Chains A and B, each alone.
Chain A
Amino acid sequence: MVSTGETNMAEQLYQRDVYGKTLAELGKLNQDIVVLDADLSGSTRTSIFAQEFPRRFFNFGVAEQNMMATAAGLASCGKTVFVSTFAMFATGRAWDQVRNTVAYNNFNIKIVATHAGLTVGPDGASHQALEDIALMRIIPNMNIIVPCDGPQTKEAVLAAAATPGPFYIRLGRPKTKTIENKGEFILGKAQVLLEGKEVVIIACGMMVEAALVAAGNLLGQGIKAAVINMHTIRPLDKEAILSYAPGCRGMVICEEHTIIGGLASGVEEILTEKCPVKVARIGIRNRFGQSGEPEQLLKEYKLTSQDIERAAKSAVS
């Protein structure tokens, strides 16, 4: 179990730094790793791999559709292909290529997209992918991981490299606080960070830290909340959801994503079929993003630990 509250001393890492370094490590071990980028290698940090393995790195310029379909050609020849750009362009601009040429072929292609969600910040709505999980979740064969911090990013990338088939890994732009003692990372298995019976908070990505803060505050008020890190959105850990749903008074599902089609939808689809419970959703509601600093945006769009706390209290009231 992790401790709550004392997060100020925690290590802070850029997920994309971890990604870039992990790729370079993988590149040494596996000659079949090929990396593609679309003019954002400095931001996605695939540049680290590019420097070490220039023959296995291709920069396609600002042309994401071509990059994605080219990945399929490489994969058909036995390559494990990592494809990176911003989440907006990987899932939006190249969706048909991902659906028809990556996923339908069930190729060994790992789409690792950075700059997902509102916390892109000042760049504003055009660059803030709030629909990417939904866009990937509806495609058969696609695995989805939303790591909650730096170290989990490494675990996710290694798991994707070791598991055949297409993956979507969603990373953010800002640093994330490292969450200690999460336990072993197993693809498709949720991590229970805090036990609690009354309310169950399920979160992914950078919302996990906010969920822990909220749970800490709730505990101070006598409300015991479980916190579950649902790092794998597909395949979703049905077992964990159904073991925590009975007996709780409500669930709060948190994601830096639209409330439609993402983690909340996935959990609710299971709950409505097997064990209906009251659900509060923390996410973006029918809005585009806008410019602002990440903290300001999280406040504006009601994605803070206080918002989670409020939702949890209303669930148990």
Chain B
Amino acid sequence: MPYPETKIKELQVKAKELRRLIVRMIARAGSGHPGGSLSATDLIAALYFQVLRHKPAEPGWGERDRFHMSKGHCCPLWYAALALSGYFPVEKLMTLRELGSMLQGHPDRRTPGVDVASGSLGQGLSVALGMSLAAKIDKKDYRVYCLMGDGEIQEGNIWEAAMASSHNKCDNLCAILDYNGFQIDGKVKDIMNLEPLADKWKAFGWHLIDIDGHDMKKILDAYEQARKIKGKPTIIIAHTIKGKGVTFMENVVDFHGRAPTKEEAEKALKELE
């Protein structure tokens, strides 16, 4: 395997740092979406601190790999990853959701490193498809990564994009599904069941990789495998735990869209030391 234990450890440390920042940012802002930010943290840590080809000092670098967060409500995670990568100072994170802040409640292009806004669910896979097609037109070798939520893929637009991505043989496109099993109103399987989900994506012509979305080694292997797949796009279905890393938030639907109180945040940060 190409990744030594030290690299895995290093990324796990980064992920913990991201989780601490997520809790602090959202608690300070008083609103936001901790559950889905914490569930996707390991996936994004691997991406930003190992996999992505990017230059944080030059966000518009033409050869950069693209990342788009289709589930825009989990932007505290994105912002934390961008700040820790060096796109902007970490202190800025504490302006999340403030009037005039470059860190809006949902992703916005005023944030260095954010190429396309998101927030209205179900559109991001199309955005990523557009980035992928641009690479084909320009004969560039950058890759495109798109993080989606599980509730989000109930949107029809996602499946239009799924169809079009395989039709256009977008093998430079890698979708990541944060399958934490919860949406605002409850369990995904109760609100609007997605299963059999792997079969759906396969039927739409995608290469599918199914992993534990908190196993850093498996995450890195999945990105590596996706890179090698030719002629079709890849989706990594990552089984995750909503609120991962903070025991009293784990699998608690209330923390989909509620900020921790000051006391809850302190308790959470203790766990994340």
Residues of A within 8 A of B (CB): 34, 55-56, 58, 60-61, 63, 65-79, 96-97, 99-101, 104-106
Contact = CB atoms under 8 A, between A and B. Distances in A.
A107 B136 CA distance: 20
Nearest to B130: A73
Contact of A104 (B117, B157, B163): B117
Contacts of B132: 73
Interface of B: 62, 66, 68, 109, 115-120, 123-124, 126-138, 156-157, 160-161, 163-164, 168
B137 A73 contact: no
A97 B120 CA distance: 8
Contacts of A71: 130
Contact of B157 (A58, A69, A79, A106): A69
B120 A101 contact: yes
A139 to B, nearest CB: 13
Contact of A66 (B62, B68, B138, B160): B160
User: Which of B119, B129, B130, B136 lies at the interface centre, i.e. has the most chain A CB atoms within 10 A of its CB?
Assistant: B130
Q: Enumerate the 5 nearest inter-chain pairs by beta-carbon distance, A residue then B residue, closest first.
A: A73-B130, A69-B126, A77-B134, A66-B160, A63-B160
B131 A63 contact: no
B116 A101 contact: yes
Given A65-B157, A97-B157, A72 B116 contact: yes
Contacts of A34: 133-134, 137
Nearest to B155: A65
Contacts, number: 104
B106 to A, nearest CB: 9
Contact of B129 (A70, A78, A99, A104): A70
B134 A74 contact: yes
A70 B163 contact: no
Nearest to B123: A69
A73 B134 contact: yes
Contacts of B160: 60, 63, 65-66
21 contacts: A34-B133, A55-B137, A60-B160, A65-B123, A66-B126, A69-B123, A69-B157, A73-B129, A73-B132, A73-B133, A74-B130, A77-B135, A77-B138, A96-B120, A97-B126, A100-B120, A101-B116, A101-B118, A101-B120, A101-B123, A105-B109
Given A73-B130, A74-B133, 17 more contacts: A55-B136, A65-B157, A66-B126, A69-B126, A72-B116, A72-B127, A73-B126, A73-B131, A73-B132, A74-B134, A75-B130, A76-B66, A76-B116, A76-B127, A77-B66, A77-B131, A101-B123
